Amino acid sequence: MVDAGSTGSRIHVYRFHQCSDHEPVTLEDEELFAQTIPGLSAYPDHPEKAAESLDVLLNDAVKVVPEHLQRKTPIAVKATAGLRLLGQEKSENILKAVRHRLETKYPFPIVGGEDGVAIMDGRDEGVFAWITVNFLLGHFDRSDTHTAAILDLGGGSTQIVFEPDRLPDGRLPELPDNDFKYVLKHEGREYVLYQHSYLGYGLMEARKRMHQQILSHLPEDVSQEERDEIFHACLPQGLTWKYSKLAEPIHFKGLGAYDDCLGIADLILNKEKECELAPCSFNGIYQPRFGESFTQGPIYVFSYFYDRTQPLGLPASFRLPELAALTESICNGEFLENVTDIALRDEILDRPEWCLDLSFIYRLLSFGYEIPHTREITVAKKINGVETGWCLGAAIAILGDNSLKEEAH
């Protein structure tokens, strides 16, 4: 399974055990996990180069999968938000080049027809991640535990998926019959899930939005001298930082102002947008109230939620006030003053957007999704040694593909 993400591409090679259709799938091992930077979307006008960027991963897979099984080992390439944001023509050219390279250079059969090398629907991305986490936690094997909610934060988008609590009489909750409702049939059971993928609210896109929010308050006739010193609440106090993602580069001057930075994050979450189908989370999107509709199961977050909190020592299980305190200490500089680890100190100094990233993450969870401050949140890169994210769930879904079984015999 190749995860063609917005900031890089990753490959997972899994070994499963299933002797018959009636037997539950068990995961024997994750034989390979490897990644490469940048992602396919870094080559918008060079589709062949995009396809070639996957060679380093596919060559590793050829070494790992026994030669006599290679033509029976299916492959799928699923692109996510980064490629979606390129537009249809450029993304299709890249996907065609990837498919051609797979078919002509590698032994693995592409599974799923046209969907075998494709941009993944945001609905599936979240639900596959939900399957991954609950599969690894063993929740599909037991009926006496509530499934976990999952929140994923990529570069281009963020996803939330959860199974709302059953009603007091044991009935499934009523969800509107629209894109937010996902009825999943898995190993003989039916799950009614709420899901949504917020395109444009991944961490890299959120950074752009927050910088743009600062710039949107500048007068049109701003002088060059003023462009060289634009105050930014979310950058470290006293730092002058060149922002070059504009036609004319500008310089931000950091203020390290925690409360003001949270305010900028709140603005981009767009809570004021009209909510056509209530209740809404943010940006006018329908979502059952999290604190009322999901009271039983655990909450798991991963991807950039992990990457931005764990190097700073946030516990693997935390509550939102702990994240708020960490964010404030990063923004006002106190955290850096007490860092003795030289590598961590260099990492913080080298990445001026730590305060911005953490402020967005904290407000996404607390203000956007409205997770209660009393709830425990678990951040996990791996569960039982296996990577979280959507890849394992997508692979498990492929195992239910009957056409694949016919090919494999």
125 is catalytic: yes
CA 195 vs. chain centroid, Å, equals 13
- Which CA distances in Å does 389 have to 18, 69, 158? 22, 26, 12
Interatomic CA distance for residues 33 and 209, integer angstroms = 32
Measure CA of the first residue to CA of the last residue in the chain; give whole Å.
20
- Rounded (5°) CA angle 204-208-212: 165
Interatomic CA distance for residues 302 and 305, integer angstroms = 5
Beta carbons within 8 Å of 303's beta carbon, 6+ residues apart: 152, 153, 154, 388, 389
Four-residue CA torsion sign, 56, 58, 61, 65: negative
Four-residue CA torsion sign, 235, 237, 243, 249: positive
Tally the C-alpha atoms within 13 A of residue 19's C-alpha that lie toward its C-beta. Answer: 0
Interatomic CA distance for residues 242 and 160, integer angstroms = 34
Q: Which one from 31, 103, 125, 292 is the annotated catalytic residue?
A: 125
Beta carbons within 8 Å of 34's beta carbon, 6+ residues apart: 10, 11, 56, 57, 60
Interatomic CA distance for residues 223 and 227, integer angstroms = 6
Quick check: helix, strand or coil at residue 255? coil
Active site residues: 125
